[in-house]
């Protein structure tokens, strides 16, 4: 019986579904695993145990919360985690909550519920504060408490588990100390709404949408100064005010006559009233210069029109009008000879009364002025109209306009009404403009303000950016509606008539069934994800999208969940509406379409009956998508499309994962979780950050959950563990593993003093191979289902210590590594080939199990067992 050396050089298929355990014909079988628990896969093929989770803090009131990233400038570490809980928002920077200014403590009583004295502290019941610098009662330092029983100058405290702070048994207060409130502001969103809050960020502003609320803007003014404000959807620059004008015109001389006018009312059937009393107007009728005769009167009930008669020489009808006013040219004075009615016909309207007449100059000319922002180039809404009377047919006549300066304006645009529409007549950098009969350009008019999201039912479900526009979509009233603001003017959804290329865009994506837009993303065009389909919206050809240049193309018929897609390089990942499926989505040049593949097909057992509720992508250093499922489990996807790597693994902890977020911190993308744990019999929600895995010596290894670290003078006492009260912990103390540490009053005691300690909850990492397959081996044929024994296991590892391996759970042996170290020195990390000889055991599968029980690093690059196969 020969001994065969087998090798699995990579694990880039991750944990495969049991349904594939017989598919030895599939390429991914050779790099797959049966179990990958608390393991992640490197893009180059190796497998490592995940880092531990550092305790950051408790969510507000330990209530449900999500985390949103706010990344202003990763190069200067201006990156934040925003904790959204029920109607509140908190801010974290570099793994610490942002705190308000310190309030001095001047006394703390010794009592079953000690009273803190702090003059004019300004705290309120329920506030969370951080205490530090207290002399005497040093056990209170560097801890968070909840404020209770507030008076103007005193308050009491309870710990985060709801236990009133007793200072009995503590040394007396010896002075000093401060309390800093955890910074938080009111948020519009309830805990039940948080999963569907969608955001898009640009610089210091984040736009947020939810169908139950008007779109909001969140502005960062400082670390401890954030502001929610509703969007107004009007230009940021105000419209001009105080628009007035002066008319300049020349009068001609000529013959003048006093002309008499009378008015009659005519019914729809033609019955005419008697003429009104007369009015006389002095008219220069010889030389036209733009003057007009304006007549007005009181309306007559039942009148369909009015007839205007000249009542002196040249008697007869001059004009007819349907309204109770008219303007007659100064040379229009010859009547048609019709007799003026002296009596009303049967059924005629009442005789008009109140006839007045006057000379006016020219015709009404209406102007509006818009301001242009000197900073952004955005155009304001038009001013209120200014009306002047002139007739600029005559040379030299002109209208001079002037207005009040608008703050922030670099120039102004003037429009004039012509045939019912305003058209462009000029631009000026001053607050005045002269119109000398400029022909209005009706192809360029002022914009009209528009807020498509002005009431309940019209609030958008999602938001993003596309081609320098703010895009929102999916209201309850118009589920397939899509709105894009003006180019580079995000909050301006107005448009001119006729529309300009930079105007806001409104469209509705048509389909055969009701389609709710759930997400918008930018790719080669605007990717729109709906309940039933995926669409690409863009300008035709390579042109940008404008109100008159839009092309909507359906790409696939998958349907998306409410979870927002994430970008991984030039690929998007999205979760399907049903079935717990995740697909990638990218442009394929060969068929000019967006296509993708099911990324969960090989690991369906991780997703069956589940939905994805939260996910985030950590590009650096391992290109991993962290995914939280609705049952509190966490899975991770190592994804590198260009190398055809996608590998799923699963992660467990003493509790349930509820949310995940990633923000850039230093040279890595930091992964944050919201985790629900049971502590001291109560459910608690904690924010925890995955520790960096970049370290050189075992003393720096952090592989505990909800953990804390200490570095300083050697000590046996680890404090500050109140969030794990009553829990059994494990520690790595100066590189040595210490188990069975029970937290009492927030403290554990080490058997030996150490200067560098990482302490927290233990977790186990496991890597289990698939059944060995060698293809057809001589006369044996396949080795599947034949008895096999592992004679020896060679592991190629990197920076590894403390692992166990073997063919079965009860046959694991420890890798013995201590070799050249000094007696007090921690065992060094191994890199290279190491060997283990497991307990002899015949199995059908030849599966190998590798486990890490200790808070130590493990990276396996290849597994090479020596195998005996029974005939």
Q: ω before 859 within 30° of 0 (cis)?
A: no
Q: What is the mean pLDDT of residues 89-100?
A: 97
Span 310-333, average pLDDT: 93
Q: Which of 596, 711, 601, 578 is nearest to 647 (CA)?
A: 601
Residue 435 CA to residue 437 CA, distance in Å, equals 6
Cα(751)–Cα(502) distance, integer angstroms: 71
Token reading at 735 = 């590189």
- Among residues 396, 311, 325, 314, which one has the least CA distance to residue 360? 325
Most confident of the ranges 187-196, 768-777, 812-821: 187-196
pLDDT bin (cut points 50, 70, 90) of residue 480 is very high
Q: Give residue 460's pLDDT.
A: 98
Q: Check whether 775 has a pLDDT greater than 80.
A: no
Tell me the C-alpha to C-alpha distance, in Å, between residue 65 and each of 90, 201, 218.
10, 20, 18
Distance of alpha carbon 708 from alpha carbon 762, whole angstroms: 13
pLDDT tens sequence across 612-643: 999 999 999 999 999 999 999 999 999 998 88
Q: What is the reported pLDDT for 791?
A: 84
Asked if residue 275 lies in contact with residue 342, where contact means CB atoms within 8 angstroms, the answer is: yes
More confident residue, 312 or 52: 52
Q: How confident is the model at residue 501 (pLDDT cuts 50, 70, 90)?
A: very high
163-177 average pLDDT score:
95
Q: Smallest Cα–Cα separation from 614: which of 570, 557, 671?
A: 671
Max CA pair span of the chain = 137
Reported confidence tier of residue 565, pLDDT bands at 50, 70, 90 = very high
Q: Please check whether residue 116 is in contact with residue 174, taking contact to mean a CB–CB distance below 8 angstroms.
A: no
523 vs 169 pLDDT, higher one: 169
| Rounded average pLDDT over 839-846 | 80
Q: Greater confidence, 821 or 51?
A: 51
Q: For the purposes of burial, counting CB atoms within 10 Å of the CB of 591, is it exposed (0-12), middle (13-18) or buried (19 or more)?
A: exposed
pLDDT of residue 146: 97
pLDDT digits (tens, 9 = 90+) for 47-76: 999 999 999 999 999 999 999 999 999 889
831 vs 867, more confident: 831
Q: Which residues contact 751 (CB under 8 A, 6 or more apart)?
A: 716, 738
When mean pLDDT is compared across 56-60, 132-136, 699-703, 842-846, the lowest value belongs to 842-846
Give the pLDDT score at 773.
Answer: 82
pLDDT above 80 for 820: no
First to last CA, the chain: 8
pLDDT-based confidence at residue 818 (cuts at 50, 70, 90): low
Q: Residue 778: pLDDT above 70? A: no
Mean pLDDT of 695-709: 95
Q: How does residue 821 score in pLDDT terms, banded at 50, 70 and 90?
A: low
Question: What's the mean pLDDT in 515-524?
Answer: 92
Element (H, E) at 209: strand 205-210
Bridge partners, 293 (sequence order): 328, 359
Q: Using only the alpha carbons of the chain, give its radius of gyration.
A: 40
- Tell me 19's DSSP state: G
Which residues lie below 8 Å from residue 490, measured CB to CB, with a gap of 6+? Answer: 202, 207, 465, 469, 470
Cα–Cα distance measured from residue 85 to residue 822, given in angstroms and rounded to the nearest whole number: 51
Rounded to whole angstroms, the Cα distance separating 787 from 772 reads 11
Cα–Cα dist 782/774, whole Å? 7
Q: Give tens-digit pLDDT for 453-464.
A: 999 999 999 999
pLDDT at 386: 97
Output the CA torsion 282→288→290→293 (10° steps).
Answer: 30
294 pLDDT more than 80:
yes
Give the number of other Cβ atoms within 10 Å of residue 443's Cβ: 10
Burial of 47 (0-12, 13-18, 19+ CB in 10 A): buried
- pLDDT band at residue 772 under the 50/70/90 scheme: confident
Q: What percent of the chain has pLDDT over 90?
A: 82
**Is residue 275 predicted with pLDDT exceeding 60?**
yes
């Amino acid at each position: 019986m020969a001994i065969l050396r087998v090798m699995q050089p990579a694990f880039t298929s991750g944990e495969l579904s049991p349904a594939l355990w017989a598919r030895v014909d599939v390429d991914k079988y050779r790099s797959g695993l049966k179990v990958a628990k608390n393991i992640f896969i490197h893009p180059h093929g190796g497998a490592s145990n995940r880092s531990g989770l550092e305790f950051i803090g408790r969510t507000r009131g330990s209530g449900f919360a999500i985390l949103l990233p706010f990344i202003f400038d990763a190069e200067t570490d201006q990156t934040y985690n925003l904790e959204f809980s029920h109607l509140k928002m908190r801010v974290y920077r570099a793994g610490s909550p942002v705190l308000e200014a310190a309030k001095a403590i001047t006394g703390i009583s010794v009592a079953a519920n000690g009273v803190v004295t702090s003059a004019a502290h300004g705290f309120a019941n329920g506030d969370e504060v951080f205490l530090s610098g207290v002399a005497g009662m040093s056990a209170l330092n560097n801890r968070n408490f909840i404020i209770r029983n507030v008076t103007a100058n005193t308050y009491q405290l309870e710990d985060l588990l709801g236990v009133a702070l007793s200072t009995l048994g503590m040394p007396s207060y010896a002075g000093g100390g401060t309390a800093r409130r955890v910074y938080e502001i009111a948020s519009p969103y309830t805990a039940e709404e948080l999963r569907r809050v969608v955001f898009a960020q640009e610089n210091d502003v984040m736009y947020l949408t939810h169908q139950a609320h008007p779109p909001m803007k969140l502005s960062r003014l400082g670390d401890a100064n954030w502001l929610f404000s509703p969007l107004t959807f009007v230009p940021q620059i105000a419209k001009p005010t105080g628009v007035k004008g002066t008319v300049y015109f020349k009068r001609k001389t000529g013959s003048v006559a006093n002309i008499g006018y009378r008015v009659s009312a005519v019914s729809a059937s033609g019955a005419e009233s008697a003429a009104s009393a007369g009015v006389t107007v002095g008219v220069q009728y010889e030389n036209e210069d733009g003057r007009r005769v304006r007549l007005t009167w009181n309306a007559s009930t039942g009148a369909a029109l009015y007839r205007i008669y000249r009542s002196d020489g040249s008697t007869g009808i001059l004009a007819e009008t349907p309204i109770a006013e008219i303007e007659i040219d100064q040379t229009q004075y010859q009547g048609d000879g019709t007799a003026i009615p002296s009596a009303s016909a049967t059924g005629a309207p009442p005789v008009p009364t109140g006839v007045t007449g006057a000379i006016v100059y020219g015709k009404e000319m209406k102007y509006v002025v818009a301001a242009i922002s000197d900073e952004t180039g955005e155009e304001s809404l038009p001013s209120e109209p200014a009306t002047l009377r002139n007739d600029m047919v005559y040379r030299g006549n002109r209208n001079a306009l002037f207005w009040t300066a608008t703050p922030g304006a670099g120039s102004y645009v003037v429009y004039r009404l012509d045939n019912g529409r305003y058209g462009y007549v000029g631009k000026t950098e001053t607050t005045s403009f002269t119109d000398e009969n400029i022909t209005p350009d009706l192809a360029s008019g002022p914009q009209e303000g528009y807020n498509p999201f002005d009431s309940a039912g019209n609030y958008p479900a999602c938001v993003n950016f596309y081609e320098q526009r703010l895009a929102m979509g999916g209201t309850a009233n118009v589920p397939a509606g899509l709105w894009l603001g003006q180019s580079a003017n995000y909050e301006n959804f107005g448009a001119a008539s006729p529309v300009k290329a930079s105007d806001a865009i409104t469209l509705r994506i048509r389909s055969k069934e009701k389609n709710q837009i759930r997400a918008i993303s930018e790719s080669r065009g605007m990717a729109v994800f709906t309940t039933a389909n995926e669409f690409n919206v863009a300008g035709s050809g390579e042109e940008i999208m404008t109100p008159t240049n839009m092309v909507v193309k359906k790409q696939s018929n998958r349907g998306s969940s409410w979870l927002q897609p994430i970008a991984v390089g030039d690929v998007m990942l999205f979760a399907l509406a049903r079935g717990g499926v995740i697909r990638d989505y990218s442009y394929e040049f060969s068929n000019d379409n967006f296509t993708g593949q099911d990324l969960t097909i090989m690991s369906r057992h991780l997703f069956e009956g589940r939905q994805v509720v939260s996910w985030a992508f950590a590009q650096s250093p391992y290109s991993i998508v962290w995914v939280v499922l609705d049952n509190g489990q966490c899975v991770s996807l190592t994804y590198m499309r260009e190398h055809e790597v996608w590998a799923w693994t699963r992660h467990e902890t003493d509790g349930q994962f509820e949310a995940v977020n990633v923000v850039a911190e230093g040279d890595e993308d930091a992964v944050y979780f919201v985790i629900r744990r049971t502590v001291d019999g109560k459910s608690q929600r904690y924010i925890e950050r995955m520790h960096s895995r970049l370290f050189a010596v075992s003393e720096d290894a952090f592989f505990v959950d909800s953990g804390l670290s200490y570095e300083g003078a050697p000590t046996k006492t680890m404090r500050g563990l109140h969030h794990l009260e009553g829990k059994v912990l494990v520690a790595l103390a100066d590189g040595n593993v210490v188990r069975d540490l029970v937290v009492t009053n927030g403290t554990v005691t080490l058997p030996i003093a150490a200067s560098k300690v990482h302490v927290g909850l233990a977790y186990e990492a496991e890597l289990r191979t698939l059944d060995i397959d060698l293809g057809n081996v001589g006369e044996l044929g396949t080795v599947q289902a034949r008895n096999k024994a592992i004679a020896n296991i060679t592991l190629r590892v990197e920076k590894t210590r403390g692992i166990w391996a073997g063919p079965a759970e009860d046959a694991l042996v420890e890798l013995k590594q201590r070799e050249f170290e000094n007696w007090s020195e921690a065992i060094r990390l191994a890199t290279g080939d190491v060997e283990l000889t497991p307990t002899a055991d015949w199995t059908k599968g030849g599966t190998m199990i590798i486990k890490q029980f200790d808070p130590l690093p493990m990276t396996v690059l290849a597994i090479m067992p020596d195998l005996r196969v029974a005939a």
